[in-house]
Amino acid sequence: MIAIPLILALAFFAFYGWRQRRVSPAIGFAMPLVSLLGIALVLRPHWAQRAADLLGIGRGADLVLYLWTVASLLLLANLHFRMRAQSAVITTLARELAILEARQRNE
């Protein structure tokens, strides 16, 4: 039965997310909530079907897939913007270091 491994995995992610709340409060609170929602949908798949019916989507599984896709794209965009910001900081630091080293050589 696939429900048991899914519930265990989601419980692990909920626990991991909760443990990371000091480092990243958004993840620390969102991951457990999303994981608990996932556990609820594993235990009660008809809830996803009801929500899909309300939204005019054919199957509950399709609704979950659509929501997962949107969440994944938001996370990827967030990671992309963070990496660009880090790259800009590294570029600034490298320039400052190069200027400092050049000044030290000239002195």
Domain of 99?
A: 60-107
Q: What is the pTM of this model?
A: 0.72
Residue 70: its pLDDT value, please?
94
Q: Report the length, in residues, of the chain.
A: 107
What burial class does residue 21 get, using C-beta atoms within 10 Å of its C-beta: 0-12 exposed, 13-18 middle, 19+ buried?
middle
Domain co-membership, 65 together with 36: no
**pLDDT grade, residue 26 (50/70/90)?**
confident
**pLDDT grade, residue 14 (50/70/90)?**
very high
Domain co-membership, 65 together with 105: yes
Q: Give pLDDT tens digits for 31-46.
A: 999 999 999 999 999 9
> Does pLDDT of 48 surpass 90?
yes
Which percentage of the chain shows pLDDT scores above 90? 82
**pLDDT grade, residue 24 (50/70/90)?**
confident
Tell whether 55 is covered by a domain: no
Question: What angle, rounded to 10 degrees, do the helices at 45-55 and 60-106 form?
Answer: 90
Tokens of 31: 């991951």
Quote the number of domains for the chain.
2
Round the CA-based radius of gyration of the chain to a whole number and report it: 22
Residues 6+ apart with CB under 8 A from 80: none
